[in-house]
Structure 1
Amino acid sequence: MRSPFTLSVHLLRGVALCIATLAACGQQAAAWTQEVYVWQRLQTAPAVAEALRRSAPLVDAFHVLAAEVAWPAGPAGAGQWAPVAVDYARLAETSKPVGLVLRVGAFSGKMQRDDATARLLAARARSLLATARAVGLEPAELQIDFDCAESRLAGYREWLEALRGALDSDARHAPAEPGTGMRRVPLVFTALPAWLRHEEEFAELARVSDGFVLQVHSLDKPSSPDALPELCDPSKVAGHVARAGKIAAAAGRTFRVALPTYGYLLAFDAQGKFFALAAEGDRPSWPAGTQVRVTGADPEQMSDVARSLANNAPPSCTGVVWFRLPVTGDRLNWSPPTFAAVLAGRSPRRGLEAVARWPEADGGSGNDGLAEIILLNTGERAELLPRAVRVTLSGNPATPDSLTIAGADGLGGYRWEAQAGEVSGVLSGWRLPPEASLEPGRQRKLGWLRFSSAPHGRHNSLSHEQDPNTRPLLKLYIVDAP
C-alpha cells in the first residue's frame, strides 16, 4: 500500500508534467520552422554567399559552424581549433535569425563544471558571441554539437551548466537595449537518439539548456559494398521523436529534429572490406582496385518524413533543421532546386531524357549527317548518369535502306557499341564513377554518330519545337544496362 507521502509525490509530479506539457503546447502554437545548417568552413566563398542569398526567402533560420575544437594532445591539452571563416556581415544581411554552433570533438578526459576544459569552452563561446555582435549580428542561440558517449551524459551536463553560467553572467553585465531587458542567448545542444534510453540523465541535460536538436541521421559502418547503410531510416524517426517529445515535455523544453540532405562516398578494398569515406571536397586518391559506393539522403523519403513531422510531431517538437545548406559545387549534397522543392513540402520533380541534336542541320558545313546524343535533366533533383543509352532508327519511311553509320564514339566515360547487322547501337557508360550525376537544368554530351549521308527525318529534338507530324530519325532509350 502506498503511503500518503508517495501519493502526494506522484500527484505533484503529475501536476508538474501537465504544466510542462501545456507550456510546450503554447510554444508549439508558433509556426512550424524549417531551418538549415551552414557547415562550410570557408563561408566567405562566393558560392556560400550565393547559397545564403538564394535560401534566405525559403528558410526560417541559419545555424552556422562558428568554431570547432579537437584534442590531438589528449584531454590534458589546450585543444586545437580548426579554422572557420564565418561571414557574419553576410549573415546579418539575410535578416534571418542566426544561431552559432560550437563543434566539440571526441573527449576522453574528466568533464567537470569548473575544470580547465569547461573554462576553455566557455571562453570561446563568449568570444564567438562578441565577434558576431561586433558586426551588428545578435545570435539567436548558441548550439553545442558534441557526440558525447552515453555513459558520460552526467559529465556533459556539467559542461552545459558551465556554459549556461558564463552566458548568463555576460548577459547580466551587458548593457541592454532600451525596453529589452537582459540579453540572454539560448543554449541548445544536439542530441543523439541513443541518449534517449537514459531518460533521467537526458532530462537533466534538457533542463540545464534551453532546448535541443535531435539528430536522426548518422552513418553506421558498412558491412559490404552490397549492403549499404541508410543515413536516416524513415521507419525509426517517428519513434525517436515520440520518445524525445515525452522527455522534452516533462523537462518543460522544446526541440527540433535534424534531417540530412548530404551523402558519402564509401570505399571498399578488393575483398569488399570498408576502409574509408569521403563527405566533401574532391574525391580522394584511393588505391587501385578500390570499390566505391554512394549512399545519401533520398529527397523523396526526407520530404515524406518532414511532412509527417509537421503534421504529427508532439507539441514539444517545433521544427526541423536541415543538414546542410546546398552550395553550388557540393557534389555530395542536394542541389538548390531539390532543397527548394522539399522545403515547399513536396517531392522533387524528376525528368531525365536523352535527345538527338543535329548541329549541321541548320545551315552548317559537311554532309549534315552528324548527330550528337545529349542527356538532359529537366527535373528538380540530380540524377545518376545512366549505365547505357540505346540508339535506334525510328523507321522513318523516308530513310533509305542504304543508310549506314560512318563513325560513332562516346564521350566522358561512355563508349559506342555497335549492334551487329543493325543501324543502331548503345552508348555504354563503362568508365563512369558511381557518383557521376547530372544536376537539374544541366545537359551533358554522351557521344556522337555520323551517317554516310544526310538522312531524312533529322531535326533538333533538343529544342522540343519539331513538327509533330514529322517522325524523328532516332529513338533514344535510357536503360540500366546495355
Structure 2
Amino acid sequence: MVFLTRRILLLTSLALFSGCERQDAPPLDQQLYVWQRQWTSDHDVALRDSRTDFSALRVLALQAFPQAGWSRARIDPALLKRDGRPLIAVIRLDGQLKSLDQDEVTTQIQQVISDWQALGLSLCGVEIDHDAGNARLPAYREFLQQLRARLPASLPLSITALPAWLDSRELPALLSTVDSSVLQVHAVSDPRRGLFDPVQARQWANAWSRITSKPFYLALPAYGVALLPGDGGAPIVESEVRLEREGKRQELLADPQQLSQLSAKLRADPPAHLAGLIWFRLPLANDRRAWSLTTLRAVVRGDALSSRLALKLSAQEGLYDIGISNEGNLDSAWPERVTLAVRGCEGADALAGYALQQGPDLLTFTRLHDGRIAAGGQRAMGWARCAHIDQGGSNVYP
C-alpha cells in the first residue's frame, strides 16, 4: 500500500512537471509585401505559387510624395479576391513630406478602405509606412492617435518602423498608439555598406522586443538594387525601375544564405513579441532585381540552398543552340566561363553578355558582365554549327 501511494505521488509529480515544461514555440508567421505600382498578368502566377508559404499579403495601396502628390497602386481586385488571403493595405507617406495633413491623409485612407470594400476585398488591416526622423516622432505619434480614432475599431493599425527610432525616448509612446509594428532591417543605412547585415538585424530585433509589449514583425529583403554615381558624391539607388542615367552600376543583392541562417535562428529562438517575418517583395517573372520565388520559398521553408548549373544543348541538322540551366533552388550568377569540346565546326557565335573564342576542337564562352539565372530557369548563350559537340567533355565554370 505504501509502495502504491508513493507510485501515485511520483506519477502525479511527473504529470505536473511536464505540464510546466516549455512547449515548442509556434512557427513564425511568414507574409509578403506586394509592392508593384502597376499590376500585370505575372501577378496571377506569382500569387498562386506563393499561397502555400505565405499567410498574408501586405499590398501597396496608396503613396504620397512631396511634389507628385497622391498616387494609387493599380491593383487587380479579381486576383486578390480569388487569392483569398488576408489583406493589409499599405499607405506609403514619403519621409520627405514636410508635414502630414491629418484630415487629407485620413480622408485618402478612408477612401481606399471604402473602395477596396466596394470591390469585395476583405481588409484585415492598414499599415502606415512613413520614414519619420526622430525629431518628428512626437508629431507622428499625435497623427497616429487621431488616425486610430477615426478608423474602424475593428481594423488593426500597424506601422513600418526604423531601427533609428530605438534612440528616441518617444518610441514607447509611439508604439502604444498602434496594434503592431513592422521593423525594417534592410536598406536603412548608407547603401554603400550593403542592403542588409544579419548580425545587426538580430541586435535590432532584440532591442525592439525589450521596448514593445505588442506583436512586431521583421521586414526582410529578398531583392537587390544598383548604385549609380550621383552628382554630389552620394550614390543614386536604382530599384525596380531602370533610371535613364549614365555610369557604371554597382549591383547589391541580399544574400539568400544569410537570410536563411537568420530565419533559422529566429525560428529557434525568437525575441519576445516577434510575431513573424514579412518579405520584400513578391517576385514577378520579369523582376530582375528580386530573388526568384523558388529561392524565396526555399529560404522560408529552411531548405538547404544550392545552385546546379548544367549545359543545355539542342540540335537540329547540325545547328546547336547552346544554353545554361539552373536546376537548383538557389539563383545563380551567370557562369564565368563555359567550354565545349567540339568537332567539325563551320561557325559559332555568342549572344549578348558573352564573348566567344573558337579553336579547332574547343569553344570557349566567357562572361562579359554580371547577370543571374533564376532557380529553375535557363539562359541562351550562343549557337554553333558543328559535326559534333561532346557534352560529356564540356565544362561549366561558375
| TM-score of Structure 1 vs Structure 2, range by shorter chain | 0.7 to 0.9
1:274 is displaced (CA, Å) by 5.5
1:334 is displaced (CA, Å) by 1.0
1:23-422 to structure 2, matched below 5 A, reads 31-43=27-39, 45-72=40-67, 80-107=69-96, 109=98, 117-167=101-151, 170-171=152-153, 184-198=154-168, 200-218=169-187, 220-222=189-191, 228-249=192-213, 253-268=214-229, 275-281=235-241, 283-287=242-246, 290-355=247-312, 357=313, 359-360=315-316, 364=317, 368=318, 370-392=319-341, 405-418=345-358
Q: How many residues align?
A: 376
Aligned equivalent of 2:16: none
1:392 is displaced (CA, Å) by 4.1
Structure 1 counterpart SS, 2:338: strand
Structure 2 counterpart SS, 1:359: strand
Equivalent-residue separation in structure 2 for 1:95 and 1:418 (angstroms): 55
The residue type equivalent to 2:381 in the other structure is L
Considering only CA atoms, is the larger Rg found in Structure 1 or Structure 2?
A: 1
1:108 is displaced (CA, Å) by 5.3
1:425 is displaced (CA, Å) by 4.3
**2:394 aligned with 1:475, yes or no?**
yes
Deviations 1:242-286 (Å, cap 9, x if unpaired)?
11001013xxx11011001111122238x99664331113x3333
Whether contact under 8 Å (1:389, 1:426) holds in the other structure is yes
Single out whichever of 29-38 and 53-62 deviates more from structure 2.
29-38
Q: Using a 3 Å threshold, how does the CA distance of structure 1 residues 476 and 272 change in structure 2: closer, same or farther?
A: farther
1:308 is displaced (CA, Å) by 1.3
Pairwise CA RMSD? 2.7
Greater share of strand residues, 1 or 2? 2
Indicate which of 379, 383, 388 corresponds to 1:448. 383
1:137 is displaced (CA, Å) by 2.7
The residue type equivalent to 1:279 in the other structure is S
TM-score, normalised on structure 2?
Answer: 0.86
Whether contact under 8 Å (2:309, 2:396) holds in the other structure is no
TM-score, normalised on structure 1?
Answer: 0.72
1:424 is displaced (CA, Å) by 2.3
Structure 1 counterpart SS, 2:381: strand
- What percent identity do the matched residue pairs reach? 30
**2:367 aligned with 1:429, yes or no?**
yes
Q: Using a 3 Å threshold, how does the CA distance of structure 1 residues 272 and 327 change in structure 2: closer, same or farther?
A: same
Gaps of 5+ in 2: 1-23
Whether contact under 8 Å (1:195, 1:202) holds in the other structure is yes
Whether contact under 8 Å (1:353, 1:478) holds in the other structure is no
Equivalent-residue separation in structure 2 for 1:101 and 1:83 (angstroms): 11
Equivalent-residue separation in structure 1 for 2:43 and 2:289 (angstroms): 15
Whether contact under 8 Å (2:65, 2:97) holds in the other structure is no
Structure 1 counterpart SS, 2:54: coil
Q: Using a 3 Å threshold, how does the CA distance of structure 1 residues 211 and 219 change in structure 2: closer, same or farther?
A: closer
